[in-house]
Amino acid sequence: MKILLTGSGGQLGSELQATVPHDITLVAPPEAEFDITDATAIDAAIRQHKPDVIMNAAAYTAVDKAETDAEIAYLVNEKSVHQLASAAQQYSCRFIHISTDFVFDGLQNKAYAPDDACAPLGVYGASKHAGELAVQAILPPSQSLIVRTAWVYSTHGNNFVKTMLRLMREKDQLGVVADQIGTPTYARNLARVLWRLIHQQTSGTLHFTDEGVASWYDFAVAIQDEAVALGLLNKAIPIKPVATSDYPTPARRPNFSLLDKTTLRAAVGGAGQHWRHALKDMLENLKGLV
Ligand SMILES: NC(=O)c1ccc[n+]([C@@H]2O[C@H](COP(=O)([O-])OP(=O)(O)OC[C@H]3O[C@@H](n4cnc5c(N)ncnc54)[C@H](OP(=O)(O)O)[C@@H]3O)[C@@H](O)[C@H]2O)c1
């Protein structure tokens, strides 16, 4: 099976390349040569490589910047997704697309199921939701797979774990938001699940995160504990729980964004890794890189 990957330089794109199964041919052009806003480039890449599957790991992911950069957010997260899905239709490829917990408003108090109503709070979430709708409007459900995920981190790129490690080295104490609840997700685990779903030709809309529940505060405390134990940090600093209202950001975020993984667990035959164990794996891998 041949897969054409967009967003090869991102967290997920990098982990997909690091975990590619032996029976898959992965074509992952550098982003500079494969801009998904360029319909001609998409067309040329598909004609050249003749993939069975197009996997879209590219996205505009700057949540706060999107509030003032809506045009680019929609260009990448909606219009380009529309173009990719149209190309998948034209060349009879399957299309795998990644979306986000930010399509929900976070007002629910039980995990969001894939068919729960979407009500994004900010531009990023709204643009990603528009991208989902574009996929669903263009391709029959059997030809596409949308996987929503949340709180993604990896050894590549910028993310909460790497920001916390930097701040924990620079500062004497830290306040971290304790009233937003979700599940941290190691991009490597997401990549592995996507390879399984591709093999099984799973379609529709599914949710995947690592297992368990945390606030950003819980996540920060765990990052520090594990990083000190691994020698990535040489001291622990006090970490205080703070309220979202004490840490204003341009974009509103869902307070509660647990994703219900029942359908995905059934598709892959069980639960995945607990976020705490995944965090330890990521930090061990990070240690191997420094
Ligand atoms: N990160 C999270 O916490 C999170 C949470 C939920 C869902 N997701 C979703 O998961 C998917 C993967 O996210 P990620 O964490 O891997 O994000 P990421 O690290 O920001 O990767 C996205 C990649 O897409 C690239 N890109 C942006 N515009 C492009 C364009 N026009 N053409 C080609 N590539 C372009 C980015 O390049 P530049 O860096 O050069 O812009 C970046 O390398 C996305 O769909 C995202 O919405 C992420």
Could you tell me if the CB of 120 is within 6 A of ligand 1? no
Cα–ligand 1 centroid distance for 157 (angstroms): 10
The answer to whether position 18 is within a domain reads yes
The answer to whether position 15 is within a domain reads yes
Could you tell me if the CB of 104 is within 6 A of ligand 1? no
The answer to whether position 279 is within a domain reads no
Number of structural domains (the chain) is 1
The answer to whether position 178 is within a domain reads no
From the alpha carbon of 11, which atom of ligand 1 is closest? 16
CATH of the domain at 42: 3.40.50.720
Q: Which of 11, 80, 160, 189 to mutate to test the pocket of ligand 1 (most atoms within 8 A of CB)?
A: 11
The answer to whether position 34 is within a domain reads yes
The answer to whether position 196 is within a domain reads yes
Cα–ligand 1 centroid distance for 264 (angstroms): 22
Residue 31: predicted pLDDT: 85
Please, what is the Cα angle at 195 between 191 and 196, to 5 degrees?
120
Q: Are 28 and 51 in contact (CB under 8 A)?
A: no
Q: Of 28-32, 53-57, 143-147, 254-258, which gets the smallest average pLDDT?
A: 28-32
The answer to whether position 283 is within a domain reads no
pLDDT tens across 173-213, in order? 999 999 999 999 999 999 999 999 999 999 999 999 999 99
Residue 68: predicted pLDDT: 96
Read off the pLDDT of each residue in 61-68 and give the average, rounded to a whole number: 95
**In DSSP terms, which residues pair with 54 in a beta bridge?**
4, 95
Which domain covers residue 39, as residue numbers? Answer: 2-154+185-211+257-272
Q: Which of 63-76 are b and which e, b meaning 16 or more Cβ less than 10 Å from the residue's Cβ?
A: bebbbeebeebbeb
Cα–ligand 1 centroid distance for 30 (angstroms): 13
The answer to whether position 226 is within a domain reads no
pLDDT tens across 95-149, in order? 999 999 999 999 999 999 999 999 999 999 999 999 999 999 999 999 999 999 9
pLDDT tens across 265-288, in order? 999 998 899 999 999 999 999 998
Q: Is 124 a catalytic residue?
A: yes
Q: Which of 17, 31, 79, 135 to mutate to test the pocket of ligand 1 (most atoms within 8 A of CB)?
A: 31
From the alpha carbon of 158, which atom of ligand 1 is closest? 19
